[in-house]
Structure 1
């Protein structure tokens, strides 16, 4: 799903109509407005960042025989994974796979190394320190199910992802998050659009006052795109030797100084905690 060159990524993607508030974010209607004096804004990807595998791939394990039929796998088209997953979920429903089986499979997804420690660290901080947001190309049912199961859901102020719900027949219905014009990203989501709009919206709500730092934790090629929106003084946390990290290194080698944010690769959530402790110690 990656294009020919790292530089095809849409650094300043056009804003779709409205803004992130009009897109599919999962939030309790009773939730209070976010505080406007939080010091740091931190974004997390989900697949292979919070969970140590692709949540969509886990659905194969609940299929009959633990495999998808060849005719179904052959329908995948590059950049159209969301549409492919819609067909996979329809097939699972046709095979009698229940919502309970799907939720149970998601609940068993292993966290990445050190991620539970990182989540508990963030939960232990004063409420004014970190505003935590998830931006993911997974879906709302998978993310909400996993976070609730591990007790981490209260940490996340917003979740931006592809909307999903179980219909009356028990089929998990999946929709694309939005449309965009970025040449690199999958057709259903450019995370750079989400990050840029959310930061701009929150800046407005904060009376124009910026965060001390914006932080982005991810692993994949589609996490590289939003990391390009970060400013000097912000921090990108790419999972070490995963596509996001490789693309950052490619840009730094080809165009030194083009990538603005500081880069802190991570193998474990504890690597991220070490950096967060340092920035918390600064006035």
Structure 2
């Protein structure tokens, strides 16, 4: 190769060709009481007489958190010969919140949304429910506490992560952190989200909602805990942090959609985002 060609190759090598950015929207869903009309963890208690749950296990939640408590519940189910088909069938038959499957399909198929789930349930419950309802192909990613049955038939669950940064979240799951990290990862892979909507119902949904910008939409289920907190913030009131006796003022930047079913969310999006 001539010296001139080498110089040209060296010059061109200093410049990377930018890939075209993929402009999309993002819909983030909670699972329990948002997509499904129940709490998938507590629903499994239907499979056993609650008198068989030892008192020390009932105290475990306060001491070690929800994930440790649910591992104890799964062990009790196992010890009482409640097997994987029993658990799976119960989860698969939990009804959806009215209109949620339709909402997810519309967002994915017709409205240029990536759809993800961030939930304090567990990956096994979420995946088998999505498969049962033919939604697995509409969900880009599920973030939840990892869970699987071991060789003996015991459902084993682990914390998604351990965090002490966010005072609004439990130690095993900060939904706001997960959402922001996902958005950053997608940006590095050339996908930019022009708008983020968050759909949830509970106290642990307030953290990601507070991280939405002015284009974002907080879709909050009516008559549930998240709406109580949102109203406090909108009224200028402080809300409790996870540490005892600590309160803090927060501000909400996004729009708020109050809903009772998936059709109401879809109508809100279609009527307000033209």
> TM-score scaled by structure 1?
0.80
Query: What are the residue-to-residue correspondences of 1:238-253 with 2, within 5 Å?
Result: 238-253=220-235
Runs of 5+ unmatched residues, structure 2 = 1-19, 238-248
Runs of 5+ unmatched residues, structure 1 = 1-34
Which residue is equivalent to 1:58?
Answer: 43
* Deviation at residue 110 of structure 1 after TM alignment: 1.1
How many residue pairs end up in the alignment? 242
Bigger Rg over Cα: 2
In the TM superposition, structure 1's runs of 4+ consecutive aligned residues that sit over 3 Å from their partners are none
> TM-score scaled by structure 2?
0.82
Which residue is equivalent to 1:28?
Answer: none
Which residue is equivalent to 1:19?
Answer: none
> Which is richer in helix?
2
Distance in 2 between residues matched to 1:268 and 1:159, nearest whole Å? 21
Which residue is equivalent to 1:168?
Answer: 151
Q: Are 1:49 and 2:60 matched, yes or no?
A: no
Q: Are 1:81 and 2:63 matched, yes or no?
A: no
Deviations 1:65-87 (A, max 9, x none): 36552423233316701110011
Distance in 1 between residues matched to 2:177 and 2:98, nearest whole Å? 29
Q: Bigger relative contact order, structure 1 or 2, given CA contacts below 8 A and separation 6+? A: 1
RMSD between superposed Cα atoms in Å? 2.1
Which residue is equivalent to 1:188?
Answer: 172
Structure 1 residue corresponding to 2:212, chosen from 216, 219, 230: 230
Which residue is equivalent to 2:262?
Answer: 269
* Deviation at residue 259 of structure 1 after TM alignment: 0.5
Deviations 1:110-161 (A, max 9, x none): 11122133233235416xx010000000000000010000111110001000
- The 1:121–1:221 alpha-carbon spacing in structure 2 relative to 1, beyond 3 Å, is same
* Deviation at residue 277 of structure 1 after TM alignment: 2.1
